[in-house]
Amino acid sequence: MKPSNTGYRLVAILFLFLWFFGSSGFAQAQQIGQDLSTEEYQQLKAAGKLPLPQQVEPPRSLRAESIIRPADGVQSNGLMVPLDTSFSVVPFTNGSPPEYRNDDGSTSPIPLSFTFTFYGSQYTQIYINNNGNLSFDGPYSSYSSTGFPINGFAMIAPFWADIDTRNPASGVVYYKSEANRFIIIWDSVGYYSQHADKVNTFELIITDGSDPLIGIGNNVCFSYGDMQWTTGDASNGAGGFGGIPSTVGANKGDGVNYALVGRFDHEGVDYDGPGGNPDGVSYLDNKHFCFNVAQGAGTISGTVFLDANGNGIQDPAENGLPGWTVRIDPGPQFTTTDVNGNYFFSFLAPNLYTVSEILKPNWTQTYPAPPGTHTVNVDSGQTFVDIDFGNQPIANVQDLSVSVAGGVARPGFQKFYGIVYQNKGTIAVNGTVIFTLPPQLGYLDSSPGGVYNAGNHTVAWDLGSLPAGLVGWLWVKAQIPANVPLGTALTSSALINPIAGDVFPADNRDSETQIVRGSFDPNDKEVSPVGVGPSGLITREDTLTYQIRFQNVGTDTAFNIVVRDLLDEDLDLSTVRIGASSHPFTFGIVDPRELVWTFTDIRLPDSTTNEAASHGFVKFTVKPKASAAAGAIIQNSAAIYFDFNAPVITNVVQNQIANDVGNIAISPTGHNFGSVDVGSNASHTFVLSNEDLLFGSLNISAVTLAGANPEQFAIVSGGGSFTLGPGGTRNIVVRFQPTSLGAMSAILRITSNDPDENPLDVALSGSGTGTAFPNISINTTSYNFGLVTVGLNPSPTYTLVVTNAPPGGATLVVDSVTVSGKNADLFNIVSGGGAFTLGLNASRNIVIRFIPNTVGNMNAALKVYSNDPDTPVYNVALLGKGGLEVTTAVFQNPAATKYADVVVASNVFLSAAPTVRAWMGNDTSAIPMSLISGSGKIYKGAYQFTATGNYSLSTRVEVGDFDSTLVRSFAVALMKPGMNQSITALNGRAMLRVGEDALREETCFLADYRESAQETLYQFGPAKTFDKPLTLLLNYDESVYPDPGKLFIYQKQGESWAALESQVFSGQRQVRAFVNTLGEFKLGYDASYSGSNVVPTELVLKQNYPNPFNPATTIEYDLPQDGNVTVAIYNMLGQKVKTLANGFHLAGVHRVEWNGTDERGNHLASGVYFYHLQVSPKEPLAVPSGEAGQTVQTRKLLLLR
């Protein structure tokens, strides 16, 4: 999409600069000759004593939006609307009938049959001025034109010049007013003073924007025949040329809004645009210029086209698609495409708009890409063009449709039916249409002639092959007998075959029912369904069918008829479907919810000449908006324009959106269950009903119990969520089941979508009778704590719930709660013990803790003593097992790293020292273990690592009859000084690299890891500090860390973790950090980190900045790997003048600065220099193929002194 710079349809909008014309000069021009007689005025004009208006130079720069360009279809035969007998001579006030010849004359105000919008101002009348223009705020007689824009007066000027029609050889000015347009023709008019040796013929058309002749969306058109002169004598012209140029364009009068074709002062066809020099008047010959001057804000326009090749571009052979609906939001606003597939939205306030098309059946959209919409940000005064939509028909689709509508039905009169058939598919189909007449009517005729079958009262047409996209009309004329009673329903139907294979067979049939009436308004409107009741109740799902009927009840033929229907705001314009009509028409949507049918050259006879043929009608369907509120009234009427007459307004039809919410009721509205013995129950059935009998649905979301004693009642059936349609019922059964003595009450609560009674509460009551008794209940009869590590703190607990449960009723008295049995001392009552009482349904929690002191199985019993006659002692079995926790650790000697202590720690006293064995491959050895004095549970043994490899430690411990063995494996590497070496954890996801200069002596390194559900911890030893940093590499999973730039390596320091300076190599999915001290490490993600640790993936020498520079510039380069780097500056002779960097660099982004000096600090001269990057990779993490060796890049920079 783009603001319009080119194109054939121009919309004039705000100009960038305000060009002010002196108010006195322009206003004075309006008053010239006001107090003079015609003879005095002509004498002063001939003598050159009338003041000329101040001339305005063309704007210094013209915006494209203010340039009017010729339309696509250049006329070869003159005017767009030729002059004929339907035009009238313009009645100028200073001329005499019948031809009103004059000089500098104007008319009185002439009313328009529509509202004309001119740069945001709306007008319903105009003044025609003889000098080639029309005005709005008053007559205008100035004969010498100025350039546009200009302050003070609004006008539209197809050719503003000194026109003089007083010479009998000159033609005169004509006009014609129509329903949606007004036409003025200056026919072969001469110039001042009474010259007719050269004459001009031109035309001005203004519309409401809905006229397809000049293009839907355009509201002004200039059309030219033969143009022979430019200037009158009083404007310093000679022989019709020279002097003050004539002006062609439109002017708002605010100095800002205007549109311009140009100015003309000589013969010839030269033309350099409106902002150039005056042009040759013959350039205008046989051209027309159609454009829009309605908008005061933004415009959006484009084309809906057949994209046959699917490339999203309208190629020369791909036609526009007429009659497609385009929508913009917010609004929404709708419009339809014209005969060329073009659409237009104007007068748009600044906003962000979404433009979409209403896709027709059996078509697929090819442009724009999904979601198939354009987003246009309209700022003040912007015009956007080429907001296009490409579409392709879906191959091999069969889809025929038919629609039928008829005129009025009166006893003794003829009735006409119109049948519209259409091939909406994408393949040709051999079609037949069968029309069935109402049985009460007699068949008279059909056009084109069909085959009438008297037996079944049908008319049939064999239509032959129907090409894709074809629309056709059929007509039937029938006679209504004079004795048909008023109120009789006349039902007709139409069928188009074949139905088999049709993708949407529902529209292969249509019908119409009309009621026979007596006297009636011949111009009326009907809606179906009429709805229920006096307000015409309908639902949002109903499709409304409107039929507008009209009749020419005048005294002469109506040549053109326009039907306009402004849709109610609660109707969904996107669902409009146009149906049958009495005559062919063109259709459009304008302003922005008005439907317009135009019957051009319909030639509808008047009712006194041919009553049967004087009728016409249109039919369409539309649905209410889904958002239409319940109770919304939808009213509709139509305006019917017969030629130049004032519109005939039809009756108003009305529907109302019915309340779609049901009306809840229940019977009975409450219930007392009476006396019911405790332990027994009683039930009652409630009938829930939806009292709305028309459209409302009753949605029940919940049926619940509330109130004082809801636990004494139960919903047996009929609860839950459900829907009752109009008049629907449902039984809800409620049970009263008392568990104690006395009166009880509750509420049956029904939650629904009925706004008047939500919720609906039903009172429930009853009394419990009989003998009461206590009833103890505990939530379990046994509980197993499972395996609990000895010494675990805190140890686990379990909560027992003691309840006085129904159907008792008496108070439960608990005397005591105790623990007994073999291991009673290991199960402690934490809370809830002692004596207590519980009323009915009351409960108390008893918390038990298991604290094992040794390894093995333990058990005990919880005993609750109460007054429950059935269970005076309630026993709960308690079980558990003491568990053993053993850890094995390796502690290296920092000074002699081959030597280590193996330490075994237990949470209990062991029966004997643990048995520990170490092995690597086939080499196995036992490690003698001894108890550390004073610990009681910790043992230690010495071990020496002798070789590099994977080691395992097996530890076996015994506690009484219980024994356990655990195995721990880790990697060991013996490293010598002067070599690059590494050690990798056994899971393969962590590596420690030791450089050749990092060690002073042989050192033993260990690599171990342990995993949990949340993270993996890595242990590297020995735990000592090294003189040179070591390289630590941890792998990461890209599915877990989609943004690896926030990854860090963390090192444990005391009880906390510290983030290390880290680098992420995304190609290898590794994170690197340098460490001097070994210990425990892990990978972590810092979501709050705003930077990125990812190193570059390519070697890039970037352009210096600033460039050119003085006095200094910065050079930046990306290194994907470590290496030796040299950055140097060279002059044009290839001589090195300065070394900026020379040494080892880590991978990453680096910067150096050059101040324009050489090695000695001398300032170099201005000129072009080269900066040169040379990299020698040194032990990269991963070297892509071909990267080994040296890499060189060079760029230019410019030093300016």
Which residue ranges make up each domain of the chain?
A: 10-292, 298-393, 399-517, 521-658, 664-769, 776-883, 886-971, 976-1085, 1100-1199
- At 519 the pLDDT is 63
Place of tokens 């002073």: 1000
Q: Which of 589-603, 749-763, 934-948 has the lowest mean pLDDT?
A: 589-603
Q: How many residues does the chain have?
A: 1201
Question: Burial of 419 by CB count in 10 Å (0-12 exposed, 13-18 middle, 19+ buried)?
Answer: buried
Q: Say how far apart CA 160 and CA 905 lie, in whole Å.
A: 110
Average the pLDDT over 845-857 and give the result. Answer: 92
Place of tokens 């805190």: 794
Give residue-wise pLDDT tens across range 478-537.
999 989 998 899 999 999 999 999 999 999 999 999 888 876 667 889 999 998 888 899
Average the pLDDT over 311-332 and give the result. Answer: 91
Q: Is the pLDDT of residue 344 over 50?
A: yes
Question: Burial of 1148 by CB count in 10 Å (0-12 exposed, 13-18 middle, 19+ buried)?
Answer: middle
Give residue-wise pLDDT tens across range 67-122.
555 554 333 347 889 999 999 999 999 999 999 999 999 999 999 999 998 887 88
Average the pLDDT over 641-650 and give the result. Answer: 83
Q: Say how far apart CA 149 and CA 156 lie, in whole Å.
A: 12
C-alpha dist (Å) from residue 411 to 205, 517, 520, 553: 45, 7, 12, 19
Q: Within 10 Å of residue 547's Cβ, how many Cβ atoms?
A: 23
**DSSP E strand boundaries for 560-652:** 561-566, 571-581, 586-590, 594-599, 615-624, 633-636, 639-642, 648-649
Q: Is the pLDDT of residue 432 over 70?
A: yes
Q: Say how far apart CA 399 and CA 427 lie, in whole Å.
A: 9
Q: Is the pLDDT of residue 935 over 80?
A: no
Q: Which of 61-70, 90-99, 184-193, 757-766 has the lowest mean pLDDT?
A: 61-70
The 3-state DSSP composition of the chain as helix, strand, coil percent (nearest 5) reads 5, 50, 45
DSSP per-residue string spanning 858-877: EEEEEEEEES-SS-SEEEEE
What percentage of the chain carries pLDDT values higher than 90? Answer: 65
276, two tokens: 């150039």
**Cis peptide leading into 98, omega within 30 of 0?**
yes
- At 768 the pLDDT is 87
Q: Which residues contact 333 (CB under 8 A, 6 or more apart)?
A: 327, 345, 592
- At 854 the pLDDT is 85
Instruction: Select from 3.30.110.30, 3.90.25.10, 2.60.220.30, 2.40.70.10 the CATH code of 976-1085.
Output: 2.60.220.30
- At 26 the pLDDT is 31
Average the pLDDT over 171-197 and give the result. Answer: 95
Q: Which residues contact 371 (CB under 8 A, 6 or more apart)?
A: none
CATH 2.60.40.3340 fits 886-971, yes or no: yes
**Which has the closest alpha carbon to 573: 626, 637, 629, 504?**
626
CB-CB contact of 558 with 644 (8 Å): no
DSSP per-residue string spanning 394-413: PTT---EEEEEEE----TTS
- At 1201 the pLDDT is 84
Residue 956: CA count within 13 A, CB half-sphere: 8
- At 18 the pLDDT is 23
Q: Is the pLDDT of residue 384 over 50?
A: yes
For residue 16, give the amino acid letter.
Answer: L
Q: Which CATH class is domain 1100-1199?
A: mainly beta
Q: What is the CATH number of domain 664-769?
A: 2.60.40.10
- At 808 the pLDDT is 67
Phi first, then psi: give them for residue 1073, nearest 5 degrees.
-145, 155
CA atoms 449, 453, 458, 460: torsion sign: negative
Q: Is the pLDDT of residue 393 over 80?
A: yes
Beta strands 173-177 and 155-160 are unpaired
- At 24 the pLDDT is 27
CATH 2.60.40.1510 fits 399-517, yes or no: yes
Average the pLDDT over 594-609 and give the result. Answer: 89
The stretches of 732-851 forming alpha helices (DSSP H) are none
User: What mean pLDDT, rounded, does the chain reach?
Assistant: 87
Average the pLDDT over 871-879 and give the result. Answer: 94
Identical fold between 298-393 and 976-1085 = no
Q: Is the pLDDT of residue 13 over 50?
A: no
For residue 670, give the amino acid letter.
Answer: G
- At 48 the pLDDT is 66
Beta bridge partners of 893: none
Q: Is the pLDDT of residue 1 over 60?
A: no
Q: What is the pTM of this model?
A: 0.45
Question: Burial of 669 by CB count in 10 Å (0-12 exposed, 13-18 middle, 19+ buried)?
Answer: exposed
Q: Say how far apart CA 756 and CA 880 lie, in whole Å.
A: 60
Give residue-wise pLDDT tens across range 1151-1194.
999 999 999 999 999 999 999 999 987 654 333 333 434 589 99
- At 73 the pLDDT is 36
772, two tokens: 């009461």
Q: Which pLDDT band holds residue 380 (cuts at 50, 70, 90)?
A: low
Q: Say how far apart CA 737 and CA 300 lie, in whole Å.
A: 72
CB-CB contact of 814 with 845 (8 Å): no
CB-CB contact of 325 with 240 (8 Å): no
**DSSP E strand boundaries for 718-842:** 722-724, 729-736, 742-752, 760-769, 776-778, 782-789, 797-804, 812-820, 827-831, 836-838
Q: Which pLDDT band holds residue 292 (cuts at 50, 70, 90)?
A: confident
- At 8 the pLDDT is 26
CB-CB contact of 1141 with 1125 (8 Å): yes
Q: Say how far apart CA 1093 and CA 1103 lie, in whole Å.
A: 23
Between residues 426 and 806, which one has the greater pLDDT?
426
- At 643 the pLDDT is 79
CATH 3.30.565.10 fits 776-883, yes or no: no
515, two tokens: 């009621």
CATH 2.60.40.740 fits 521-658, yes or no: yes
Q: Is the pLDDT of residue 353 over 90?
A: yes
Q: Which CATH class is domain 298-393?
A: mainly beta
What percentage of the chain carries pLDDT values higher than 70? Answer: 92
